[in-house]
Amino acid sequence: MAILSLQSVCKEYSTDGQSVRALENVSLDVAEGEFVALVGRSGCGKSTLLHLAGAMDFPTFGTVSIEGLATSGLSDAQQTALRREKVGFIFQSFQLLHTLTVQENVELPLLLAGKPGALEIALERLHWVELDGLGERYPHQLSGGQMQRVAIARALVHAPRILLADEPTGNLDTTTGTVILDLLLRLTRERKTATIMATHSHEAAAVADTLVVLRDGRIAEVTRR
Amino acid sequence: MAESPKSRGADMVRLELFYRLMVRPLLHEPVRLALMVLAVALGVAVVLAIDLAGSAAAGSFHSSMETLSGDNDLEIVASGGVPESILATLATQPFPLRLSPRMEDFAVDLRTQETLPLIGLDLIAEGRRYATRRSTLQDTSLEKLTGEESARMLEDPQSIWVSAGLGKKPGEHLSFLINDQVRDCIVRGVFPDTSANGHAVLMDIAGAQRALNRFGRVDRILLKLPPDGNLDEWQERLRGVLPAGIEVRPQGTGTEENRKMLEAFRWNLRLLSYIALVVGAFLIYNTISVSVVRRRNEIGIVRALGASRTDVVAAFLGEAAGLGLAGGLLGLPLGRVMADGAVKLMGATVESLYVSSRPGAIELTPHSVALALAIGIGVATFSAFSPACEAMQVSPTDAMAQGRREYLAQMHKGRDLAIALVLAVLGALAAKAPAIAGKPLFGYLAVLLLIVAAAYAIPAFVYIVSRIAAKSLEELFGVEALLASRSLAASLRRTSVLVGALATAVAMVVSVGIMVGSFRQTVVNWMNNQLPADLYVRPAGSPAADRHPTLSPELLEKIRTLPGVAQVDRLRAYEISYDGMPVTLAAVDLTARRARRQSDFFSGRPASEVLEQLRGKNNVIVSEPFTYKHHVKTGDTITLSLGAARAYFRIVDVHYDYGSERGYILMDREVLLKFLPDAAPTNLAIFVAPGANAEEVHREILAAAAGHRILIFSDREIRAEAVRIFDRTFAITYALEAVAVIVAVMGIAGALLALVIDRRRELGLLRFLGAASRQIQKMILVEAGLLGLLANLAGFILGYFLSLILIFVINKQSFGWTIRFHWPVEVLLGALTVVYTATVVAGLYPASIAVRLNPLEVIHEE
């Protein structure tokens, strides 16, 4: 069964009174343990699709469902609760809080959700991403690859069903990028998350189970491997 | 040299660039911009208001007694009045002098309760003079005084002439309270006001003597010298023919003495008003610092594109000057409005503690306007200088090194703490130094050094306290508190400046609160010990430090014989000049019971023993402020001019006194009567007979005083009245504190807004990570609360030390009062709670902005 389902999704934005359609009639199902790569030019709608998938935004038309629950019509609090339970985000520029230690960064989603045992879980996630012993460091004391691992650990700390990664290797060199992709793939398999990764990189896209090509807000091509 | 079109064009380009790069970004944050401009405006307004009000309140007494004093050169005065025989002495000398004897006192208009100067002149002589020289006094009624009809009018003791400003017409009847008597008067004529606040009532000198019940003496003789007369030579010549106790001095010396006396009061008030400006300076510094940090990348890019270092520094100084100019312009009308309130408060204080005064007109002169703008622009550019220089140091490559500035701030904590310690030690040393020309200049320096020391110590303080508090705060308020405390500690520089600004305002509240609270408690304790009698009587009318209206001697006799009265203690006070400063000379009966609970003397001896030393001898007690002003001590001999005589008096002890800042000299009534044989007392202290009811005696006295206007107070009422006057006196300091706190809180609101805008990406990220709106809101409010807590804590510590300087250095050296330290716990708790609450409330708007941020937009911003 699909964990994430987008059915005939359209998304329009209004800019200076002009309506701009960012996504048009997009349908996509992502199953647990599936790694999907979204590719396409800048402005083709990759980030918009990720935001809809992560319940950060609502579709203008169509339905986005996470484990069968439609995100449309959810209140702000319900959206927040859904993200806390089901969704993990990874960003191109890591987006770590520089005022917090590595371990505190990883704990953060659990603390925001008011869940107990955050420290133990955070240390475990750091072990998953092979950063044992670095929990007390601050982000600026880490390399770019290490920072992205911390971001992945943070995205996984609450055991989300969906992992959304926006250009996770965009700020990394090729070797480090490959390591991060391998890690994402491994964790997707092990944790049975539905992972969607937006990327410009063909090398990155090559590791995915499913390749979705977006063009002008529409799905132009879907390749399942 | 004419400017070339090319250079004009370059200037226009620079202006256009300045608008694009500096002004436009500011306009994009209108609320923050408005808060900053308003903060500067308030600082400027307070300084301007105090300056304007000070001039109006303190300058007014000039005209009150100088009304109709004309163009004379010298004046002859004597303590207790100049004997009329002196006039005869002068008239028999072959001197080509014009003599104008005057009676000078006060009358209360019973309809308006306004206290007006009452001037008695020789109207026949003056009338003739004015008739020949209409430019000075244009009233026709006085010109006609040479006629028979007018002469009769003059002899009528009801005849008065009033200044035009009072709005009276000839023939109108007015009732005046003069000493303890009500007198019905008829307005015979109106004369033009000599200035806006020169309202006065004029009588013929004989009528004035009758009304005031003072015969055989005049208060002043004004002298007009011949056109080629030398002031010094004439003073010497006149001294040669006058008795030793009579003083010859340039006309208006009394006004100058009063002005000198008020200097300390005005100085201290002016310096208090600068505190709001200091707080404003902190905030400008913060604004420009934030501006520099935010625009590091921009600076780098602009530098890479060809801007010189000078261009960069000029741009940031220009931004600050713009804020200062806007603040100055807004501060002008604000200051003018505030001055209205300030002048009322200051006027009342001047009258209670110093000299009879009616506030003059508040004049917004070109000088005041220039002052306001100069302060606004000056303080703003001065505060911006350091951050602007830092901006100048940014190299194109440095621009990308984010966080370096904060790192530097953290790295310098230890060094800054060492500087703070050195400054604090220097402050302590400055506090030990004596006054210079009667001004506690080193005391002010000590305050300044401590404030700067605190500013240097605050980064370490913030770092340590936020670290220590972080864990407990997290336990108390959850993850939002952890984020807030980390954020504050991480942006240590910005946090420190904000904490410094608010802490300065809090320190002012605390220090002035402790000083005033200690002073109040000292006065209350002193009064408990000072008022042994059951009832106190004085003539009706509002009191002033230099007005000593008298009670009729026959009333005294009536009160003395009342059955419930055991004893009456008389006090007579005179306004005299000692060593070029006004002083109160008082004489008391030494027969009454003065069972004080504790000694109020420097020597620690009981009052009975000290007072006994005064009996029948040329011995005096002086008040503590007197010793400070005139540098005398127990055992010293002072020379007093009393009537026509000059006599020597030995100081047998010094009395702690909080009744008047001008200082007083106390002697035996019998001794004073030898020099000034006027038996009328100014105050009575009445001891009720054993078994008699004080309220009953009160009623009996009122009945006995029919035809007299007097006020009777119980000891409790007199204490309450004194406390009321005390609180009124310090009301202006509370107002100044409030403005400083408002400025600081507005700064906090502006800075939190900047913090929210700068951290919008972080706030957006938190939404991605599952933070709810209320958690974001809570985080900003906790941050505001933490800022408030840090500032309150730092301000409290700084305020405590400042209060010690205020009490034991500045107050002592300015006014000469010994104040005993007292913690006004309720006042401090109340003030700190208000400041803390205001800080948290200041976070509400930034918090609402934080909640409204769109995470999708901000997360992708670079």
Closest-approach residue (CA) in chain B for A157: B769
Range in A130-134, A189-193, B12-16, B146-150 with the lowest mean pLDDT: B146-150
CB contact under 8 A, B403 and A51: no
Residues facing residue A45 across a β-bridge: none
| pLDDT at residue B400 in the model | 45
CB contact under 8 A, A56 and B768: yes
Residue A30 to chain B, least CA–CA distance (Å): 21
| pLDDT at residue A160 in the model | 93
Which of B403, B486, B859 shows the shortest C-beta gap to A100?
A: B486
Residues facing residue B588 across a β-bridge: B571, B668
Name the more confident of B643 and B517.
B517
A95 to chain B: which residues are within 8 Å by CB?
761, 765, 768, 859
Range in B65-69, B178-182, B458-462 with the lowest mean pLDDT: B65-69
Which of A56, A80, A140 shows the shortest C-beta gap to B856?
A: A56
User: Which of these, A13, A28, A19, A16, lies nearest to A214 by C-alpha position?
Assistant: A28
Residues of A with CB under 8 A from a CB of B: 47, 51, 54, 56-57, 76-77, 80, 83-84, 89, 91, 95, 97-100, 104, 108-109, 111-114, 140, 154, 158
CB contact under 8 A, A47 and B487: no
A54 to chain B: which residues are within 8 Å by CB?
768
CB contact under 8 A, A99 and B771: no
B765 to chain A: which residues are within 8 Å by CB?
91, 95, 97
Q: How confident is the model at residue B127 (pLDDT cuts 50, 70, 90)?
A: low
Q: How confident is the model at residue A69 (pLDDT cuts 50, 70, 90)?
A: very high
Torsion of CA B50, B55, B60, B61, to 10 degrees: 90
The yes-or-no verdict on residue B459 having pLDDT over 60 is yes
Range in A107-116, B34-43, B66-75, B256-265 with the lowest mean pLDDT: B256-265
Question: CB contact, 8 Å: B478 with chain A?
Answer: yes
Closest-approach residue (CA) in chain B for A113: B770
Give the number of residues written for chain B. 862
| pLDDT at residue B403 in the model | 46
Closest-approach residue (CA) in chain A for B771: A112
* Cβ atoms of B46 and B379 closer than 8 Å: no
Report the percentage of chain A scoring pLDDT > 70. Answer: 100
Query: Do the strands A210-215 and A35-39 form a parallel or antiparallel pair, or are they unpaired?
Result: parallel
Interface test with A, best of B768, B778, B786 (most A CBs within 10 A): B768
B769 to chain A: which residues are within 8 Å by CB?
83, 89, 108-109, 112, 154
Rounded to an integer, the average pLDDT of B111-133 is: 75
Which of B486, B769, B855 shows the shortest C-beta gap to A109?
A: B769
| pLDDT at residue B475 in the model | 83
CB-side exposure of B746: number of CA atoms within 13 Å? 25
* Cβ atoms of B660 and B265 closer than 8 Å: no
B783 to chain A: which residues are within 8 Å by CB?
none
The yes-or-no verdict on residue B353 having pLDDT over 80 is no
Between CA B307 and CA B314 the distance in angstroms is 11
* Cβ atoms of B848 and B755 closer than 8 Å: no
Kindly state the tokens that stand for B168: 């009276």
Could you say which DSSP state residue B436 is in? B
CB contact under 8 A, B769 and A54: no
Give SS3 for B144.
helix
The yes-or-no verdict on residue A80 having pLDDT over 90 is no
CB contact under 8 A, A111 and B482: yes
Q: How confident is the model at residue B27 (pLDDT cuts 50, 70, 90)?
A: confident
Size of the A and B interface in Cβ pairs below 8 Å:
63
Closest-approach residue (CA) in chain B for A167: B860
Interface test with B, best of A90, A93, A97 (most B CBs within 10 A): A97
Name the more confident of B157 and B395.
B157
Rounded to an integer, the average pLDDT of B164-189 is: 87
pLDDT tens, B553-563? 889 899 999 99
Give the global pTM: 0.77
Kindly state the tokens that stand for B634: 């127990």
Could you say which DSSP state residue B21 is in? I
| pLDDT at residue B1 in the model | 46
SS3 sequence of B789-835: HHHHHHHHHHHHHHHHHHHHHHHHHHHCCCCCCCCCHHHHHHHHHHH
Residue B454 to chain A, least CA–CA distance (Å): 26
- The conformational region for residue B169 under phi > 0 = left, psi -120 to 50 = alpha, else beta, is beta
Which of B490, B855, B860 shows the shortest C-beta gap to A98?
A: B490
Q: How confident is the model at residue B407 (pLDDT cuts 50, 70, 90)?
A: very low
CB contact under 8 A, B478 and A114: yes
CB contact under 8 A, B769 and A80: no
A98 to chain B: which residues are within 8 Å by CB?
403, 490
Interface test with B, best of A89, A108, A171 (most B CBs within 10 A): A108
Which of B775, B859, B860 shows the shortest C-beta gap to A112?
A: B775
Range in B387-396, B476-485, B607-616, B659-668 with the lowest mean pLDDT: B387-396
Query: Which of residues 401 through 430 in chain B touch A, CB cutoff 8 A?
Result: 403
Report the percentage of chain B scoring pLDDT > 70. Answer: 88
CB contact under 8 A, B859 and A98: no
Could you say which DSSP state residue B533 is in? S
Q: How confident is the model at residue B372 (pLDDT cuts 50, 70, 90)?
A: confident
Question: CB contact, 8 Å: B768 with chain A?
Answer: yes
